[in-house]
Structures are given as C-alpha cells and as structure tokens.
Chain A
C-alpha cells in the first residue's frame, strides 16, 4: 500500500492459512517447501496479490510437516527474495518450534503480536528471550533483532472497568517499544471471512490501527491512538447488515 515491494512467507508448515486470510487459496500451485526442495522455482511459487501489485505471497505446504523446513533452505530462499523485495515478512506460527524458530532466525526486526491475556503476554516474553539469543543476529553478535510490540484485541471499555490489562501494564512487563494498538473489532472476522486484509478496510478502526502500525514500522512518527469501538450513525445502524 506504500509502494514498497513486499513478500509475505507463511512459516506455519502443515497448517497453511496465510493463503486463506489473503484470499488467494485457489491460486496456490507450488509452495515454500517445493522451492526449498528444488521442485519449483521461487517465481512459480510466488502469488502476486490481485489488489496490490507490490505484494506477493509465498504459501507454505499444507501436507508436509515442519521438519521439511531446513535452515539452509530458508536462508537461500530469503537471500533470493532479498534482491527483489524491500520487505520480507516471515509470518511465524505461534509457539517456539521449528517453524517459529526459522521465521525469526534470519530477521532484522520482529513484530511480537500479543493480546491482553496472561497466556499471551507470558508467551511473548519467552519469544523475546529467543529473539535475543536464538537468531542469526544474536549468534553472530550483530546486535539484537529489533523488537516491536503490537497489542491486538484491545478493548478500552474493559480496560476502564479494570477487566483488561492496560497497554502500559503490558509494556511495563515486556519493556519493548510499542508499535501499535489494534482494538477488538468485528471487522477483523469479517475481513478474514472474505479473504481481504482488514487494513484495506479504511472504515475499520482495526484497519486504521494496522495502517498506523505500518507507518511506525517504516519509521514515521504517528500519534499513538487507542481507537474505541466503531460508532455507527443512526442511519448506518438502521441499515446495518452483518458482513
């Protein structure tokens, strides 16, 4: 959306879903594992997004297991992509197993996505520990992978009632810079239902929050705003249909 050539790689081998969320599930022919194993060229596996010409998607395999990922294979693919793209996003599976490890291994920066639940914050802390020790940058002494925190499913109303941890609380615990706050929003589910990224939905608070986060990731100074639940005008409420 900002004119940067970007590719997203799905690292969740065996549980492919990036294709579904991005709405290109019927266009997958070859995948990441095929490329690693030399069965397909990278150009054959990349799917160019129909909405944004600068965006490509590299789906993962749905049938193979995570052991099909090798560090050397991943490195080669990333190095090939480096020549062509400005940003390579490695979409990591949750957890700390092979897929997640290799998704973070070659990273320069990391966006840790957490929601205001104890389990999520604890896991994020663990992942931050791995980012500072089990990555190529850490092993080669090239300085740490730069972490960013993205808080999702945030509900300011519940925070006000003391039912949900504040962003400040999460920041105090994890102590990494905040990239953005994505409010809990029904448009997120609607977006994945139809396979359109929510960031393309300009009227959505969650979409706006994601767009803000992207600006900050690219180094722009954007005011940190906590967007509340979407307000609908009376007419909109009257005409409202579930998406």
Chain B
C-alpha cells in the first residue's frame, strides 16, 4: 500500500519551480517600486507629519502610490487609522486625478 501512496501522493514542487515562483512575486514588487518617482518617499514622510499633528498614526500605515496611465495618472494616498477608544474607523483613502 505504501508503494501505491507514493504514486498517488502529490509531489512537492521542484526547487526550480519554487525559484521561479519566488522570483516572479518578488520582481513584480520591485519593478513597481522602481517605477515610482524618487520624491514619493519624501512626500509620504511629509504627509505623515501633517497627519501626525492631529492623529497618532504609525509610520507604516501611510501608503502613497502613483500610477501612470496613458491619459490619466492617479496619486493614491491610503492612511490606515488606529481604532480610537473602541471605535472602528475605516481607512481613509484619497485619490487625486492629475
């Protein structure tokens, strides 16, 4: 029966396949970061400082993303707010058309 199990049991993916999958996921992220203009991290820092004047936000809760399209580009700013005093707030998201 053991021998039979060997044939039926799904084989683990080959290490070459794992390598390919890991690279594809990683490079998709890296390419996106690379296509972003250099001022984005600075913009993100400034926005964070302004918001921090009023609300306590963790530094990793602000996400700024620029998407360039053929006819329209969008600057997306996502800020995840902490739930204050048991109140559940949705994340605030603003999109500016350029």
> Which residues of A are interface residues toward B (Cβ below 8 A)?
116-118, 121-122, 125-126, 129, 159, 161-166, 169, 172-173
- On chain A, the residues within 8 Å of B24 by CB distance are 173
Given contacts A121-B23, A122-B23, A173-B23, contact A166 B16 (CB under 8 A): yes
| Interface secondary structure of B, over-half rule | helix
- On chain B, the residues within 8 Å of A125 by CB distance are 27, 30-31
Question: What's the A-B contact tally at a CB cutoff of 8 Å?
Answer: 38
Partner of A173, one of B14, B15, B17, B27: B27
- On chain B, the residues within 8 Å of A173 by CB distance are 20, 23-24, 27
Partner of A169, one of B20, B26, B27: B20
Contact B14 A162 (CB under 8 A): yes
Given contacts A161-B14, A162-B16, A173-B27, 11 further A-B contacts (CB under 8 A): A116-B16, A118-B22, A122-B30, A125-B31, A129-B34, A162-B14, A164-B16, A165-B20, A166-B16, A172-B20, A173-B24
Contact A159 B16 (CB under 8 A): yes
For chain B, residues 31 to 71, give those with C-beta under 8 angstroms from any C-beta of chain A: 31, 34
Contact A122 B16 (CB under 8 A): no
Given contacts A162-B14, A162-B17, A163-B15, contact A118 B23 (CB under 8 A): yes
Contact B16 A169 (CB under 8 A): yes
A-B contact pairs, 23 of them (CB 8 A): A117-B19, A118-B22, A118-B23, A122-B27, A122-B30, A125-B27, A125-B30, A125-B31, A126-B30, A129-B31, A129-B34, A162-B16, A163-B14, A163-B15, A163-B16, A165-B19, A169-B16, A169-B19, A169-B20, A172-B20, A173-B20, A173-B24, A173-B27
A169, closest chain B residue (CB): B20
Cα–Cα, bound, A116→B20 (Å): 10
A118, closest chain B residue (CB): B19
The 4 nearest A-B residue pairs measured at CB: A162-B14, A169-B20, A165-B16, A162-B16
Cα–Cα, bound, A173→B15 (Å): 16
Q: How far does the Cβ of B61 sit from chain A's closest Cβ, in whole Å? A: 28
B22, closest chain A residue (CB): A118
Contact B15 A162 (CB under 8 A): yes
B20, closest chain A residue (CB): A169
- On chain B, the residues within 8 Å of A159 by CB distance are 16
- On chain A, the residues within 8 Å of B22 by CB distance are 118
Cα–Cα, bound, A79→B26 (Å): 39
Cα–Cα, bound, A27→B63 (Å): 57
- On chain A, the residues within 8 Å of B17 by CB distance are 162
Q: How far does the Cβ of A172 sit from chain B's closest Cβ, in whole Å? A: 8
- On chain B, the residues within 8 Å of A163 by CB distance are 14-16
Cα–Cα, bound, A126→B19 (Å): 17
- On chain A, the residues within 8 Å of B26 by CB distance are 122
Cα–Cα, bound, A165→B24 (Å): 12
Cα–Cα, bound, A121→B34 (Å): 16
Q: How far does the Cβ of A183 sit from chain B's closest Cβ, in whole Å? A: 16
